[in-house]
Structure 1
Amino acid sequence: MQKLSLFTKCLIIFVVLWLFLRFFIGGVWSVPLPVSVISMYLGLILLAILVHVSVEDDRFREFLRPIKETLADDNRRTRCTVLFVLIPLVMLGLTFSEMSTKADPPAALRTAHPAPPDELTYREKVIGPTQQVENPFRHLEKDDKEAFKAHVENGRRVYYQNCFYCHGDDLDGEGHFAHGFNPPPANFQDPGIIPNFQESFFFWRISKGGPGLPPAATPWDSAMPVWEDHLTEEEIWDVILFLSEYTGYRPRTFGEAAH
C-alpha cells in the first residue's frame, strides 16, 4: 500500500477540521458558527500546518515534493491538467455564490396592535359588539365618585397582584420579567397607547392574552396569559380604570379619531 505524502496528510487534516467546525461544532454541538469565526480558525489551522512542515528543511522539501512533481513531471501531466481546470472552476463557483443576488424570503410583518374581533366575549359569553361595548363602571366617575374610587382601588389590587411583574411598578413596561420577552410588555406611560384605543380593546387584549391574538400579530406573539381564566369580568374592567387613572391618559371614546 502506497504511503500517503506529507502534503496529502496535511490536506486531509485541514479538510477534516473544516468539516468538524462547519457541521459538528456548528450544527450538532451548538448553533451554526458564523463564517467569520470558521475562517479565523481555519487560518490558525493553516498557519499551524505551515509552521509544522517548515520547522525542518527535509520536512518542508517532502511537503513540497507532490506539488513540484505535479508541475514538472511529465508523468503527472494528467493530474496537472485536472487541477488547472478544477481549481479555477471551484474559485468561480465560490465567487458566484458570494456575489450573486440571494432570493431571500419576504420578511414577516407583525401588527403590534391588531384589530379586535367584531364581538367582545368573556369566557364564551358574548358581551356585545366590540365597537359599542363601554366600560360598565366608567359612568360612576360622574354619577358616584366613591363607588368609582372603589373600582379603581380594586383595579390597583388586581394590577399589583398579577400585572406588575411584566408591566412594571410604574406601568412603564419595565417589570422584573420584561426583558425576557419579545415583544416587550406594553408601556402604559407611552402617550401612544391608552389614548389611541377604546376600553373594549383593552378588555379584549387582557381577557384573551397572547393566545387570543389573530394571525396578523405573529410571528412574535405576546406572552400575556389568558386573564379571563384567572380574573372576573369586573376585575378586568377595574384594572382598565386603574391604568387610566394612574397614568392620567383617558382611553378613546367611540367616534373619536386616533391621534
Structure 2
Amino acid sequence: MPRFLKHPFGQAAAVLVLAFLLFEWGIAYLPPLFGMESAPVPDTVLFQYMLTVLVGILLWVSDSEERWREFKAPIRRVMVDPERKGARIALLVALPILVGFVTWERVRPSVAAPPALRSIHPAPPGQIQFRGATMPITGLENPLRHEGSIEEHYERGKEIYYRNCLPCHGDPLDGTGHYAHGFNPAPLSFRTTARSPSSPRASSSGGSPRADPGCRWRARRGTPRCRPGRTSSPRTRSGR
C-alpha cells in the first residue's frame, strides 16, 4: 500500500475521490454492463451524496483522538509552517479562481434549443375513414347554410346544443359548463374566432372553431376516455 494511503488524510481524500467517481460515472455506466438500466445522477443529488460522504469521513477521522490529530497534521503544516509559504500563496490564488470559475459556469447564459411544446391533440388529417368510406374534412362548408331556413336550423341547433353540449361548453358557449373543470384540455369556447390552442392549424387558418375539421376528426375518433364514435357528453356516454 502506498505510504500516502496509510495516513488518515490520504485515506479520507481517496474515499472522497472514489465516491465522486462512483456517483458521477459509476452509477450511469456500470449497471448497463450487467444488463441493468441506469441514468446519470443529477448535480443536486450528486452534491447531496458527496456531502453525506464528507460528513461520514469527518465522523470517522474524529472518532479517535490520535486519528484526528494525524488527520489535522498536514493541514496545520500547510497553514502554519513558515516553509509552506509557497503552498499557502498557491491556495490563496487557486481557491478564489476555482470559486469564480464554478460561479461563472452556473450563471453564464447557455445556448440551447427551446423546449418542445406539449401537443395535447395530434394534428387532424386531411381525410378520415368512416364506415368504409373516405371522407375529406378539409375545405368543407356547413351545408345547412345553403339549404332550408336558417331560423329553423338555428332553433334545432339550440335544442341539440342544450341537450348534448351545455354541460361542458356552458350556456354562454364559453367553455365553462358544469363539467368543464373535469376535462384537460378544457372544453373549447365557441365565442372566439380562434381555434383550440393545441391545434397545429390554429395560427394558420384563423377560422371559426365550428368549421374546424379537427372537430369532425375528434367526433370520429372519440376522446381519450371514450371509444371512437362516442363523445364526452353525458347523453352520448350513457347510450341514450
Q: TM range, normalised to the smaller chain?
A: 0.5 to 0.7
Distance 1:115 1:49, change over 3 A: closer
2:115 aligned residue: 107
2:51 aligned residue: 43
Give me the identity figure in percent.
22
1:3 aligned residue: 3
Separation of aligned partners in 2, 1:90 and 1:125: 70
2:214 aligned residue: 201
Q: Secondary structure at the match of 2:116?
A: coil
Amino acid at match of 1:22: E
Amino acid at match of 1:130: T
> Are the counterparts in 1 of residues 128 and 137 from structure 2 also a CA contact under 8 Å?
no
Q: Select the residue among 130, 148, 171 that pairs with 2:138.
A: 130
Q: Which has the higher contact order (CA 8 A, sep 6+)?
A: 1
Q: Select the residue among 19, 22, 26 that pairs with 1:20.
A: 22
Matched, 1:120 2:122: no
* Count of equivalent residues: 184
Q: Secondary structure at the match of 1:21?
A: helix
Separation of aligned partners in 1, 2:64 and 2:27: 33
Amino acid at match of 1:21: F
Separation of aligned partners in 1, 2:104 and 2:39: 26
Separation of aligned partners in 1, 2:129 and 2:45: 53
> Are the counterparts in 2 of residues 120 and 200 from structure 1 also a CA contact under 8 Å?
no
Distance 1:128 1:134, change over 3 A: farther
Matched, 1:55 2:68: no
Q: Secondary structure at the match of 2:3?
A: coil
Q: Select the residue among 241, 246, 249 that pairs with 2:236.
A: 246
Pairing of 1:176-195 with structure 2 (within 5 A) = 190=187, 192=189
**Cα deviation, residue 88, structure 1:** 2.2
Q: Secondary structure at the match of 1:88?
A: helix
**Cα deviation, residue 201, structure 1:** 2.8
Q: CA RMSD in A?
A: 4.8
TM normalised by structure 2 equals 0.52
Which sections of structure 1, spanning at least 5 residues, go unmatched? Answer: 136-141, 143-170, 175-183, 210-221, 248-259
TM normalised by structure 1 equals 0.49
**Cα deviation, residue 62, structure 1:** 1.2
Amino acid at match of 1:61: R
**Cα deviation, residue 98, structure 1:** 2.3
Which sections of structure 2, spanning at least 5 residues, go unmatched? Answer: 32-36, 144-152, 154-178, 191-195, 197-207
**Cα deviation, residue 185, structure 1:** 7.4
Q: Secondary structure at the match of 2:14?
A: helix
Amino acid at match of 2:66: D
> Are the counterparts in 2 of residues 70 and 77 from structure 1 also a CA contact under 8 Å?
yes
Distance 1:39 1:129, change over 3 A: closer
Separation of aligned partners in 2, 1:199 and 1:95: 51
1:191-221 Cα shifts (integer Å, max 9, x gaps): 6499944585344346679xxxxxxxxxxxx
Distance 1:80 1:20, change over 3 A: same
> Are the counterparts in 2 of residues 22 and 33 from structure 1 also a CA contact under 8 Å?
yes
2:170 aligned residue: none
> Are the counterparts in 2 of residues 121 and 127 from structure 1 also a CA contact under 8 Å?
yes
Amino acid at match of 2:75: I
Distance 1:196 1:246, change over 3 A: farther
